[in-house]
Amino acid sequence: MGAAKPAFARIVETTLLMARQLANPAPLLLMMVVVGWGALLFFCFGLLATFSWISLIAQVLGSLAVAAAFFMILEFSSPYSGLFRISPVGVDGLIKSMGG
C-alpha cells in the first residue's frame, strides 16, 4: 500500500502533463525558429548561387525538407488525430483503472 500512493501520484502527474501538452501542442516559438531557419538558409544559398538547374533543384528539395519538418512537428503534436495516429486505448484503459 505504501508504494501504491507514489505510483498513483506519478500516473496522475503524467496524465495531467499529457493533457497540458495537448492543449498547446506546437509552441509558436518553435514554429518561428523553423520558419526563420529555413528563410535564412534559402536567403544565404540564394546569395551565393548563380542560376542553374542544379541550384533550382537544390532550392526545391530544401524547401520540401523544411515543409516536411514543419508538417511533422504539427502532425506529431496531435497524436490522436491526423495522418500518424496512435491508439488511445492505453490511455483510456489507464483512466478507467484509476476510476475516472
Query: Residue 56: which domain range?
Result: 4-97
pLDDT in tens, 69-79: 888 888 877 76
Question: Which grid cell sits at 13?
Answer: 502527474
pLDDT in tens, 27-67: 788 888 888 888 888 888 888 878 889 888 988 898 898 88
Overall domain count for the chain: 1
| Whole-structure pTM value | 0.56
How far apart are the C-alpha atoms of 19 and 15, rounded to whole Å? 6
* Phi, psi values for residue 14, rounded to 5°: -65, -40
